[in-house]
Amino acid sequence: MNDRDKRDFQAGLEAEVDAFMRGETTRRTFITRFGQMTGMLAASGPMLGMMTDWAVAQQTLELADATSPLGQAQAAALKASKEGPADGSAFRAVEAAKAHSGVTLNMTYEAGLQALDPRNFSGPMWEQLTGMKSNVVELSNPDQYSKAVAEHIAGSGAYDVLDVSPAWTPSLADGGVIAPLDDYIAKYMNPADLEDYHPLYKALPTYKGKIWGFFDDGDMFALYYRKDIFEDPKMMEAYQAKFNAKLGPPKTWEEYAQIAQFITDQMAPKVYGAGHFRKAGSPGNQFDFLQQYRANGGKLFGDDMKAGLVSDAGVKTLTNMLAANKASIPGNNELDAVSLWAAFLTGKVAMIYSWPPSGRMAANYSQSATAINFIPQSQIAGKVGYAVVPGNPEHATGYNKALSADSPNPEAAYLFMQWICSPPVSLARCMLPYALRDPYRISHFKSELYGALFPSAKEYLANLNNSANVGLLDPIMPGAQDYFLSIDRMCTAVWAGADPKASLETAAAEWNETTDRLGVDSQKGFYTEFLKLPGATADNTVEKLGMAVAL
Amino acid sequence: MLRALGSQHLAEPLSSLLDTPMQPTATIHRLKAAGAPPRLSAFAQRADRHFKWLLVAPAVLLILALSIYPLLFSLVVSFINYDFQVPGHAFVGLKNFERVVFDPVARWSLLLTAWLSGISVAIEFVLGLLVALTMVRSFPGRGVIMSILIVPLFISPVIVGQAWTLLLQRPFGPTNYILTQLLGQEVTIGWMTERPWLYVSLIIADVWQWTPFMFVILLAGLTAIPPNLYEAAELDGVNAWQVFWAITLPHLGPMMLLALTFRLLDAIRMFDTIFIMTGGGPGTQTYTASYYLYTVGFTQFHLSQATAGSWLFLIFTALIVALLVRRLLKVDPV
């Protein structure tokens, strides 16, 4: 380095140091950092890819103890997928799917427990069988609709398999978001496996004569009650003396409120007669109102598509619900579904009606999974009886597996759907302790393995089947979210002291506005389609149509 | 004089330079000879002149993409049908705005927003000022207490809502039990379902979280007041109340207005705690403007109506902001 170089270097260094001391970025540091940043950006792509691959590779198949009922069900699912019977839907799906090895399927699931099944069990097993990877996209329930639509509008092809509420099927089908499965079913499915669906659920994905998915979650409400209280001789005697009737699971909603009040009067504050999830935004209000309203003879819409809420059935329903609230645990109107489970499992409540996991939790089966340890241990295991909800129980939402119309791998996606909903695989999934997938196939209700999960599992399954025989479906039509929201607002306003009749009128006005917004004729068409489904009204339940399943 | 100077010291060279007319390029030639940059072509000059725009272009484009474009797009959406349940994007004029204006729930939510945010911010201001006045003097443990006091500021509002739900929700929350023990009679308040307690609960949660914000800002203002003013007042025998009115309040005025402005702008967007604690209910009794817009947009999927509502809400907010900022700019430091 000559003198001039040394001088230049010294001057540059001094400028750098001075700039550093002043907190300024010099051209040199800017260029250096810009280079570093560019380098990092360039490197981040492959690094992220490697990390994603690593994360996907971490998904390992979790299998239960091979001697347990769940372990046996999982082994049976694996065997049916690998060895057949050759005409089984699981086997046929796997065989055909091997041609798509290496494909990654993007599938939406409700965030949380629902997503554990594809992450820990069905996804890894499918990969093991076919070489196809699965990417689980966890979404909140409303986003399972809105994201699917948004991605369809964008034409991104981001999803292959969608978990959707049956109520959304008409909108998604008409909007071109989901694709019909009829051709694939004809090509790949064993028709006997379609007949294995309980009749209430079989028709749920059907719309305008086409099949738009596979039903995959039997969310049937059922009554869970404390047998030790209902069969306590002292309680039975006191009830007989007071009402001249036998104490037992209620058959009508009036009787339900009466029994709840009786138990509260006898046992509070140790135990209260009933509990409900009535918190605003908690879906308990809409499901409960809809089941009682229709059981009381209420019509959702008139022939002119005006809301039928303002009726004797509406007032009677709200009056009954108020009576039940009054007989319930303090804070009843502030409970959500999980708080209600906590109250029931800790023995504070004698009767609840809710989704099927209630039975598995009450038996302490669900809590064997660490993923669900936010639910308290059951203090009532072995003391719980099962009954059909008075009148007609609500099938409270459920899930359909649907094929995204924009899927870049539609056949591969379909084959996954066929496999995961096939009788042996779906049984193993429904039996996972952390699963929120509930039995829906006739073979599930009859399963000896499921019946061996906990001591009263057979009674539990029989009750779910019997409930489905007389169960009612949520309205399946566009605007369902709006109609449900109006019911929730109406109910919670009444719980807070609003006049039931006036609240019904407000809700009816909101329903009419929703119908007008979506088009009266169009909505009438959808409603007419809905009424064709078994379980659409209390007059055409599966049982009344002569299709009841006897186990 | 120059000529004389030249004749004396420079002699020939300078006199010859002055006598011959100077060529316009002479200077350039000399500068060239001295190592100056070469003359640029017209294109190069133009490129050099506009190069600065090229440098700022990425930042400008980013800002346009991230803020202006969505804003303009939302304006377009508010005049068309953009509803996940109604196919097509037909122009609907002012229909979306009309739906919001004539929706009684929207009007109620706006009123409740004003009412809830006004009361919450007023309480937070008074409490924040009291705490700041207490903490402005040094005392043992002051640092620890201040650290504890500002902890709620760092907690997500969702967690705050969940924590207060756990405290207040019946039958599991301990609040009614504690009140029963303290009062000696059974307390059965529905903190999140009964009026007026549900509003009390929401205000308590908000005040708990945001009073520290007021406290921090006002404490900064208090410490900036020159101590010699207080010393002079003490020498003059002025009492504490007079000191507060004559010295503290006037000097703290701009900071107070700043704190109120910032906090009010945040409070009118109240959403998270309501979402967790009351779910907007019972009925629509705890629908604030933000909760209303969320419900319309993301529960009912009427995106164009929600966007129109957002614009109306933005106009109301802008009016408040304009008033407060105008007032803030008018304040002269004492």
Q: Is residue A25 part of a domain?
A: no
**Residues A119 and A261 grouped into a single domain:** no
- Whether residue B14 is predicted with pLDDT greater than 50 in this model: the reply is no
pTM: 0.83
Selecting from A329, A342, A485 the residue whose C-beta is nearest the C-beta of B299 gives A485
Residue A404 burial (CB < 10 Å; 0-12/13-18/19+)? buried
Q: Is residue A17 part of a domain?
A: no
Instruction: Name chain B contacts of A489, Cβ cutoff 8 Å.
Output: 281, 283-284
**Residues A113 and A132 grouped into a single domain:** yes
pLDDT for residue B9: 47
Q: Which H, E and C letters describe A366-394, residue by residue? A: HHHCHHHCCCCCCCCCCCEEEECCCCCCE
Nearest CA in chain B to A282: B279
The answer to whether A271 faces chain B, any CB pair under 8 Å, is no
- Whether residue A97 is predicted with pLDDT greater than 80 in this model: the reply is yes
Residues 6+ apart with CB under 8 A from A78: A125, A129
Selecting from A171, A330, A485 the residue whose C-beta is nearest the C-beta of B300 gives A485
Give residue B47's pLDDT band: very low, low, confident or very high (50, 70, 90): confident
- Whether residue A540 is predicted with pLDDT greater than 70 in this model: the reply is yes
pLDDT for residue A56: 47
- Whether residue A146 is predicted with pLDDT greater than 50 in this model: the reply is yes
Give the rounded distance of the alpha carbon of B320 from its chain centre: 13
Contact criterion met (CB < 8 Å) for B190 and A331? yes
**Residues A182 and A270 grouped into a single domain:** no
Q: Which amino acid is at A277?
A: F
Q: Is residue A206 part of a domain?
A: yes
Q: Is residue A20 part of a domain?
A: no
The answer to whether A265 faces chain B, any CB pair under 8 Å, is no
Contact between A225 and A387 (Cβ < 8 Å): yes
Calculate how close chain A gets to B60, using CA atoms only, in Å: 18
Contact criterion met (CB < 8 Å) for A517 and B86? yes
Measured CA distances, A288 to A375, A393, B173, B309 (Å): 23, 9, 25, 32
Instruction: Name chain A contacts of B301, Cβ cutoff 8 Å.
Output: 145-146, 481
- Whether residue A54 is predicted with pLDDT greater than 70 in this model: the reply is no
Q: Alpha helices, DSSP H only, in A23-136?
A: 27-57, 69-82, 89-97, 116, 122-130
Structure tokens at B246: 């004559």
**Residues A135 and A98 grouped into a single domain:** yes
Rounded CA-CA distance B320/B324 in Å is 6
Task: List A residues 466-495 in contact with B (Cβ-Cβ < 8 A).
Answer: 478-479, 481-482, 485, 488-490, 492-493, 495
pLDDT for residue A459: 98
pLDDT for residue B1: 37
Q: Is residue A41 part of a domain?
A: no
The answer to whether A429 faces chain B, any CB pair under 8 Å, is no
- Whether residue A296 is predicted with pLDDT greater than 80 in this model: the reply is yes
- Give pLDDT tens digits for A437-453: 999 999 999 999 999 99
- Whether residue B67 is predicted with pLDDT greater than 90 in this model: the reply is no
Q: Is residue A8 part of a domain?
A: no
Instruction: Name chain A contacts of B166, Cβ cutoff 8 Å.
Output: none
**Count of domains observed in chain A:** 2
Q: Which domains does chain B have, with CATH numbers?
A: 25-77 (no CATH), 97-330 (1.10.3720.10)
Interface probe, candidates B77, B193, B194, B271, chain A, greatest A C-beta count within 10 A: B193
**Residues A372 and A503 grouped into a single domain:** yes
Closest CA to A391 of A530, A536, A294: A294
Percentage of residues in chain A having pLDDT higher than 70: 89
DSSP for residue B86: B
**Cβ pairs A/B, distance under 8 A:** 86
Q: What is the rounded average pLDDT of the residues A327-332? A: 95
Evaluate the omega torsion of the peptide bond into residue B171 and state whether it is cis, within 30 degrees of 0. Answer: yes
The answer to whether A520 faces chain B, any CB pair under 8 Å, is no
Selecting from A282, A481, A496 the residue whose C-beta is nearest the C-beta of B283 gives A496
Residues 6+ apart with CB under 8 A from A158: A106, A137, A151, A406
Instruction: Name chain B contacts of A330, Cβ cutoff 8 Å.
Output: 170-171, 188
Interface probe, candidates A334, A506, A510, chain B, greatest B C-beta count within 10 A: A334
**Residues A409 and A367 grouped into a single domain:** no
Calculate how close chain B gets to A349, using CA atoms only, in Å: 11
- Give pLDDT tens digits for B96-128: 999 999 999 999 999 999 999 999 999 999 999
Structure tokens at B49: 């002149």
Instruction: Name chain B contacts of A493, Cβ cutoff 8 Å.
Output: 281-285
Contact between B251 and B334 (Cβ < 8 Å): yes
- When computed from its CA atoms, the radius of gyration of chain A, rounded to whole angstroms, is 28
Q: What is the rounded average pLDDT of the residues A23-47? A: 56
**Residues A203 and A181 grouped into a single domain:** yes
Contact criterion met (CB < 8 Å) for A498 and B283? yes
| Other residues' Cβ atoms within 10 Å of the Cβ of residue A34 | 10
**Residues A385 and A404 grouped into a single domain:** no
Calculate how close chain B gets to A248, using CA atoms only, in Å: 26
- Give pLDDT tens digits for B140-166: 999 999 999 999 999 999 999 999 999
Nearest CA in chain B to A169: B85
**Residues A331 and A364 grouped into a single domain:** yes
**Residues A124 and A159 grouped into a single domain:** yes
**What value, to the nearest 5°, has the Cα angle with vertex A415 and ends A410 and A416?**
100
| Other residues' Cβ atoms within 10 Å of the Cβ of residue A14 | 10
Selecting from A142, A329, A343 the residue whose C-beta is nearest the C-beta of B299 gives A142
Contact criterion met (CB < 8 Å) for A339 and B172? yes
Q: Is residue A132 part of a domain?
A: yes
Contact criterion met (CB < 8 Å) for A281 and B298? no
**Residues A256 and A405 grouped into a single domain:** no
CATH code of the domain covering residue A377: 3.40.190.10
Selecting from B170, B280, B300 the residue whose C-beta is nearest the C-beta of A330 gives B170
Q: Is residue A444 part of a domain?
A: yes
Task: List A residues 129-148 in contact with B (Cβ-Cβ < 8 A).
Answer: 142, 145-146
| Other residues' Cβ atoms within 10 Å of the Cβ of residue A59 | 18
Give residue A45's pLDDT band: very low, low, confident or very high (50, 70, 90): low
**ipTM exceeding the 0.90 mark:** no
- Whether residue A233 is predicted with pLDDT greater than 60 in this model: the reply is yes
Evaluate the omega torsion of the peptide bond into residue B282 and state whether it is cis, within 30 degrees of 0. Answer: yes
Rounded CA-CA distance B109/A420 in Å is 45
Rounded CA-CA distance A499/A486 in Å is 15
Range of the domain at A282: 222-396+472-531
**Residues A92 and A203 grouped into a single domain:** yes
Q: What is the rounded average pLDDT of the residues B167-182? A: 92
